[in-house]
Amino acid sequence: MKVRKFTNYIHIGIGLETARVLALRGVHVVMPVRNIAAGEKAKESIAEKVPNAKLEVMELDVSSQESVRQFASQYCSKGLPLNILILNAGIMSPPFTLSKDNIELQFATNHLGNFLLTNLLLDTMKKTAIESGKEGRIVILSSELHQTTYKEGIMFDKINDEQSYNAMYAYGQSKLANALHAKELTRRLQEEGVNITANSLHPGVINTNLLHHNGFFAIFFKVVQSFLKNIPQGAATTCYVAMHPQLKGVSGEYFADSNLKKASAYAQDPELAKKLWDFSVKLTQAK
C-alpha cells in the first residue's frame, strides 16, 4: 500500500522510531512536536540514516486545545493530503495536574487532544481517501493498562476530582478512552461509508522516558529492564497496523505484538464508547 502523507508525533523514542521506519518506506512524514528545536534534531537524526527521507516538523502541544486547533488549521492550509494519522503522544502518571483547558492532564493529553485533532483532520483524510482511492488509516496508541482503570471505567463525573485521583488509574482511564475512541470512530466511519479504518494498539512495555513521573514504576522497570522491548520492537506493532496490506478493511480492533488481541470488556462496550464520544465532543467544543 503506497501512501503519500503521514502524520506522526515525535514525543518519546517510539514515535521517533515509527517516523524513521515509515520514512524508510518512502512515506512523507509530518512530525508534530512540542519543541521545534528538538524536532529538528529528530528530523536530522532520521535524515542521517534515511538520506532521501521526506520530513516536516510542525509545532503542537496536544495537551492544549488551542495548540491542536492551530496545528490542524496550519496543516489544512498547506493543502496536503493525509493517508495515515498516528496518535502517539502521551504522558504517564504525573501528580494531579490540570491542563491549560482545566482538564485532568492525562485525560487531556492522552485522549482529548488526540480526539480533537482527529476530528479536525478527518475531512482532509476523507478527501484524500476519495482522491487517492486508497484506504486511510487512523492508529491510536493505547496500552494493556487500559484494563487498570477506575471501577466505573471512565469517571465522567469526576474527571477533574483531585480527591478521587489515582495516577495509575487515571492513566488506565485515558488508555481505555483510546480504545473506545477507535471503536466509536469505526462505527461512525462505517455508517458513513468512508474508506478509513481506526484501530488501537498496545506497543509493548518499552524502555522509554514515559515513566519519569512515577518513581515506583521507574524503579520497577529499571529492575526488569532486560525484559523490556527495545524501541524498534515497540514501534513494530504501530507500523504493522499503519501499513500492512493484510489489515485492509480491518477496523475497530485492538492489537498487540502485531496481532489481534482481545481488549477488556469496557473497551468493547459500544454504549460506553458512545457516551465517551459525546462527553469528548462537549469538552472540546470551541469556547
**CB burial of residue 286 (10 Å; 0-12, 13-18, 19+):** exposed
Number of Cβ atoms within 10 Å of the Cβ of 219? 10
Residue among 9, 75, 165, 266 flagged as catalytic = 165
Q: Pick from 35, 13, 115, 29: which is nearest to 68 by CA? A: 115
Beta strands in 145-208 (DSSP E): 196-202
**CB burial of residue 79 (10 Å; 0-12, 13-18, 19+):** exposed
Number of Cβ atoms within 10 Å of the Cβ of 24? 14
Count the residues in the chain: 287
Number of Cβ atoms within 10 Å of the Cβ of 144? 17
169 is catalytic: no
Q: Pick from 69, 70, 108: which is nearest to 89 by CA? A: 108
**Which distant-in-sequence residues (6+ apart) come within 8 Å of 203 by Cβ?**
14, 141, 143, 229, 234, 235, 237, 238
So which residues are the catalytic ones?
165
